[in-house]
Amino acid sequence: MLDVGDEAPEFELPNQHGEPVRRSDFEGERLVVYFYPRANTDGCTTEAREFEDAKAAFDEHDVSIVGISDDPVDDLETFAADHDLTFDLLSDEFGEVATLYESYGEKQLFGNTFDGVFRNTYVVGPDGDVEAAYSGVSPEGHAEEVLADLEASTPEARP
């Protein structure tokens, strides 16, 4: 995992519409970058839906959201359409960006070993530095956890 205070690596990946999205596109604002293993699986759908359901609250805090997986663009387009997701889902088919974010590597599932995306999340600050890092998250309730942490760290939320 990257540490709080580390510079978040730059990236450019296609979104679900095939349009390029860069980390630097969000310079000057906060960005939630969440990594997830596979579109249209139960856990990933839960996590994506919860981020979508909380999107208005993230917007109120000027926080954008991107989800990154190693799914191809076509799969992300279907996933977004099937679940009415309005934030960018980014295709990192070879895990290069996930690797930069220490969110890709060897995994085991049902006795099989393979390379894949780890379920990690980062909050990148307006200056491009990591403000928060969440490792091996549980999909259910994660969006609310990130939002609560963001609200607690916002100056106007402090007594």
Q: pLDDT of 77-131, one tens digit each?
A: 999 999 999 999 999 999 999 999 999 999 887 888 989 999 999 999 999 999 9
Q: Which of 13, 31, 44, 150 is catalytic?
A: 44
Candidates 103, 94, 92, 91; CA nearest to 135 is 103
Q: Please state the pTM of the whole predicted model.
A: 0.94
Rounded to whole angstroms, how far apart are CA atoms 133 and 3? 7
Mean pLDDT of all residues in 20-45:
97
pLDDT value of residue 46 = 97
Burial class (CB in 10 A: 0-12, 13-18, 19+), 53: exposed
Record: fold of 12-154: Glutaredoxin (3.40.30)
Question: Does residue 158 register a pLDDT over 70?
Answer: no
pLDDT value of residue 59 = 96
The answer to whether 44 is a known catalytic residue is yes
